[in-house]
Each structure stands twice: as C-alpha cells, then as structure tokens.
Structure 1
Amino acid sequence: MKISTAFAALGLASTVAAEVYFKETFDDDTWSTRWAASKHRDDYGQFKVTPGKFYADEKTSRGLQTSENARFYSLIAPLDKEFQHKDKPFVLQFSVKFEQNIDCGGGYLKVVPPGVDSATFHGESPYNIMFGPDICGYDKKTHVIFSHKEKNHLIKKTIAPGSDQMTHLYTLIVNPDKTYKVEIDGEEKAAGSLAEDWDILPAKKIKDPEAKKPADWVDDATIPDPEDKKPEGYDDIPEYIADPDATKPEDWDDDMDGEWEAPKISNVEFKGEWKPKQIPNPAYKGVWIHPEIDNPEYDASEVIADYTSASLAFDLWQVKAGTIFDDIIVTDSIEEAAAFAKETYEVKKPLEKAAKDKLDEEEKAAAAAKAEEARLKAEAEAKAKEAEAAEKVEEVKSEEAEVKEHEKDEL
C-alpha cells in the first residue's frame, strides 16, 4: 500500500505542468490594457511601442521604448496570478536593447509584492526583486537585488551587462534551495547561493567583543639590529650642494640684488637617511587573531526570498531615451523560459545583426555622400569667390585705364 501510494505521488508530481505567470511581447496594441502608468509624478516620460531603427521583424521586434530624454519612467502590470516562490523555481526573463547607445540610465524590472497601488507606485515603493542592466558612464552593472525585512540587498558580484546597441537577453533563476543563476544571452554570468553572494543574513560568526589583544603581545616580526652601526662621516654628506657649473649673471647687482649664491643641486654622493638593518624579533608572537563567537543575531532557520509576487514594474531614470524592452516572461519553469528565448531572442538575433549592419552601411554611405556634397559645395564656393575676385581685379584695371585715358585727353 505504501509503495503504490508513493508511485501514485510520483506520477502526480511528474504530471504537474509548468506554469507561466506573465508573458509580454508587445506584438499588438493590447499591451496598454495590461500596463498602468503611475500617477505619483506628473512629469513621467512616455513609453511608445516600436521595433526601433533596426530590427529583425517589424511586428515581432516591437517593444516598449523610452521616448523622452532626462525623464523618470514608471509602468506596472499585474501577473496573471500571484506567484508563491517558496516551493518552485522563479524565473524572470526579458530583453533590453540600448538602441540609443545609452550614456546613463536603467534597464531593469522590479518584481512587486501584493498590495502596491499602481496609481501611486514610485521609486520608494516596496519590491521583492530588482533585476537588469544599469549603465552610467564607466559604471556598468547588472543589478540583482533582493529585499529582506524592508531592506534592499545588492549582489556582491559584478556582472557586466550588454552595453552595445544590440538586443540582449537577461535571465534570472532563483531555485527553492536558494541557489541562483544569472544568464545574459543564454550564457551563465553568475551563480551560487543567496546566503553567500548577498549580505542578506547576519554573519554566522562575529569577533568576540570581550576579547582584547594582550598588552604584552609582540606583533613586530622584525627589529633594528643593535649591532648595526652608522658608518663614520655618514651625516657629513649633504643632500644638496651648490651647482659648480653655475656662474653669477653679468647683470647681477650685489647692492640691488643682494649677495649672489649659486643654486643648489642634488648631491649624487648623498646616501639618504641611515637606518639599521632589520633582524627577526625573538619576542615575536605572530599575528594576533581576534577570537570569534557565534553571532546571537544569526538564525539558521531564517527564511530568505520566499516571496509572494503580484506585479512587474518599470521604475527607471534615463538621461538619453531610446531603450527597448521586449519578450518578458515570468514562469516557474527553466525549460519554459529557455523555449521562449529560443522562439524569440534566438530567432531574431541574427536578423537584427544583419539589419544593424545594413543600417551602418547606409549611414556610412550617407555620411560619405554628405561629406562629398559639402566638399563640392566648398569647392564651388571657392571657385565663385576666385571668379568674383578676378572680376573685381578686371574692374579695377578698367577703371585705372579710364582714368589714364581721361588724363591723356586733358593733356
């Protein structure tokens, strides 16, 4: 009976289907029925849906693009149903295209708990996870931030984002055992444990506040050799001497300028400050190590990242707009996210590259044509000026001839 029950349970578990909690491609105009704009500020930047200047396909490459420079942006959309992270993987995946060749701005998403009002959502509103690229000048990173007890904890690793103008795919996987993986364009960039790569929990051990280094502890590994003596005459060698090649200027007036002194130069024979050589310290006890004790604030049973999530949100600042977000999915299946990436990002990637190369060639040709047009225009203007100058010369010569002819007639 127990065996049959076990097999029944196993069969039931194997039939549990992967679940998708949110999927967004922006391929049609229904996206605006899912995403709500915050009213926390009255000067938020506007999003628009577009495939951008270069793309794989005009329809399937449509994404949500920031459109106004130096603006905050805010949008929030509910998941199809609340996601309990505790007993299954949490996977967030989306693509980001910094088409504007971004100088400073965010490209991340926030995973938001229940109870946050979309109308008042803003940068200080609580969130469970923040994930995605953030670039400002030379500071380029991929944020992976987890909230715990109303405090946001940043990953201790540095994960370089895709920072060119092409589309890049960002995937965050958080497993029930609190291990994680970050992938960019399908390649693993970071992996490990939430307990180790974030300072979410207090340290297991702390330095014993009652322990003090003994007053007689000797931690100098070497001491000056008492047998080493300074050489005779060492201090008689000056660091600087009068320049022997310097001569008194001819216009130097002792009464006016004072007594002349040759400028000083470094003395090549100067040996510097004398110090006795070092020898091992016989009293050396080694490096004192502060004893540690169990941290009373550490609780091994404390649970981290067991969130309930209800929404996804954009909460961004961008100096130069133009970032395009696309192909967002939230699921409890790593395989589901990988399949979605295969049918979206992987299909579009080579086509987008070809489109970008074509656009670059067109822009290069247009720039060359413009430069040639400017050269021909400048050349024509120069010739016109030369002709105008020659014409004026002829006019002057004609006027001079008329004057001479008039003078001849008067004579």
Structure 2
Amino acid sequence: MLRKLKIFNDPIYGFIAVRNPLIYKIIEHPYFQRLRRVSQMGLSYLVYPGAHHTRFHHVLGCTYLMEQAIDTLRMKNIEISEEEAQALKVAILMHDMGHGPFSHALEHTLIKGISHEFVSLKFMELLNDEFEGELDLAIEIFKGDYHRAFMNQLISGQLDMDRLDYLKRDSFYSGVAEGNINVERLITMLNVKNDQLVVEFKGIYSVEKFIMARRFMYWQVYLHKTGIVAEKVLVKIIERARELMLAGVEVNCSHTLKIFLSQHIDQSNFDQSKMEAFSRLDDYDVMSAIKDWCSHQDKILSYLCTSVVNRRLPKIEMKNEPFEPGKLDSIREKVQEKLNLTDEQVAYYVYQGKVSNKAYNSEGEQIEILYKDGSQKDIINASDSASIKALSMTVSKYFICYPKKLL
C-alpha cells in the first residue's frame, strides 16, 4: 500500500508524482523494472551518444502526460470517472512492457511474428490475475473494446501520449532540436467531440509542428543510415548465433537468451514459460553475449559482434530509388570471392533493404481540427500549409550494406 507520495525526477517534465497505489504497485513489479534495462532507441547511441535513455523513462513520461490530458479534458466538462482515469494511466504505463532487448531493433527477430503490443497485453493479463482483476478496465481500453473510443485514442492514436512523449524525449536525449514539440500546448488544445479526440483550432500550428517534428526525427534519428546498418548487424548477430546453436555449435550466453536462440519461437509456441523467460530478457543479456562472441571461433559471428562493439560498421549506401539491377550481385560476388564464403554465408556480409515513413497517416484515424462553430476538418484540409499534405505521403529509401574495407 502506498503510504506517501512517490516522486521521480524527470529531466523533461521535472518532478513526476505517483499518488495512486495501483500505479506504484505496477512500477515496483519486476516485470516493469525490466524496462530500466531496455533502451528506448535501440543502437541510436552509436550515432547520438546521449541517446541512452530507457523504456522506463518513456512510460513514466507518458503516464505524466496522460494525467495532464485527463485534467485538461475534465476542465472542458468531459466526464472521466476516477476509475476511468486510473485505467487510462495504467494502460499507458504498461503499453510498452512488451518491448524486448533494444526495443524495435529486435522486435521480430527473437520472437517471430509477435508485436510488442501483443506481449504488452500478455503482461497486463498476467498482472491482472496477480492483482485480482484491478486491470480489467485498463485492458478493455487498451484493446479498444471500451465504449468511449477517445480513451483508446489517448493511448494509441495519431496524437497519443506515447508519440507526444517519445518525440520530446528522444529529441532531448539525441540533441536533435528539430524534433522538439510543445507538448503542453498540444495537450491544452485537446477536446472530445462525438466521442472522438479533436484539437481546437487554436492549436493547429502546434499540430503542424508535431507532424514536421515526426518527419525530422524519423529521417534524422530513427532512420539515420548509421543507425539502420547498426541495427541490421544486430539482427544478423542473433540470426547467426541461432543458426550455430541449432547446428550444435557451442554459443555461450545467459540461460534466458539461450531459450530464444535454441529454438524458433512464434505465436504458436509462445506459452507461459516463454512469457516468463521474456520477462527476464533485456539489453544486458544481448550485449554481454555480443562482447563474449567477439572472440568466438566462428569468423562470421566474431566479425558481426566486433562491428557493433568497436563501431566498425559496414558501409551503407542509401538512395531514394531502387539500386540498379545487378549492383547487389556484383558486390556479393566480390566479397564472396575475397572471403571464400558460401552463398548462405555471404548474406551476413552483403544485404539490401528498404525503409519507409509517413509523418501523418491520413488514411486511418485522422487528426481532426475543431472550429468554434462546432465543425471539424482533417488537419490536411484545415492547414494552409501545402507541406502537411505532402507529409501524408509515404516516403521510401533503399539501402545496400557491405564491408567497407573489402571494396
């Protein structure tokens, strides 16, 4: 039982107070404490040295913003009961509990075909059993089953508390000022109309800045070419370690990580025991293994791990249109010949891919601007900036990675 006010000192928002016993009970739980050991931005710190913050930082910030949003909506006569307010804060607090080591970087590598949202829901259900149903409403809102649709939008929408926090937080820790947004202004301008989250017209320029900031952060930070190649190497490391382990080669690592390398895990066999193992898996398991594997007898695994530990990453070429046919094959042949590799092995050295981003998705749930006369318009139609419409289009970039010293 929470007997006194608990305070976290956050560099973004200042003091974050925890007054709710259930919120505090969740934060204290080992499942939640694991987020202290899961990086928020994968290997982005290899590009931006300050980007060492964790999912723990992020979800506390999201919960703080949810509290501000609830207060704002209540002041505008939107009825939110104490039970609903608690459920909203619990749902946003736990929305990222399903992230594994290095967050998005290994999301579909350690476990195939399972999103972090799916695993977050599993954590909620486990804690709900442990806490005797106290999370029932939070789970209903998180799943989008609750009859008040705007509540789910606060957790998972175009202008949700998750996006508001990660843009401001990641901008701060990376030092990329272009990603900074006026969170306070955006939340103050929120309202609800016909059970849908809307933004009052006075906040239209803040919304425009928010969409622009998403574009800057994705192409300058999240999809920075060095970050892309670093995380591709990380995926290759896990794939190679699993291949060796399944072939009977000794690959030392923690007992927890070995569970995910010694077999292929997907939704069909992600049972209670795997869930318990996942609750113990974090960045530390993976990085300590990578350091050890730098001296592994397998030259491919050793090469990949050394690339990350010493930041001697492969070269990455990136362009706005697909590479000309044959370029990848030409590079593969040269690398394969120089290193005497099989067709399967060269795939660990030379590979290509595509990344895409849409700063604003106008095809799904839209950001609605509310006018004084009660009418609404999607931000694209409400804005007098032509760039907002352009930012609703998908932008793709293509890349090729290969060892820079060999070519």
Q: TM-score range by the shorter chain?
A: under 0.3
Q: Which has the higher contact order (CA 8 A, sep 6+)?
A: 1
**Larger Cα-atom Rg:** 1
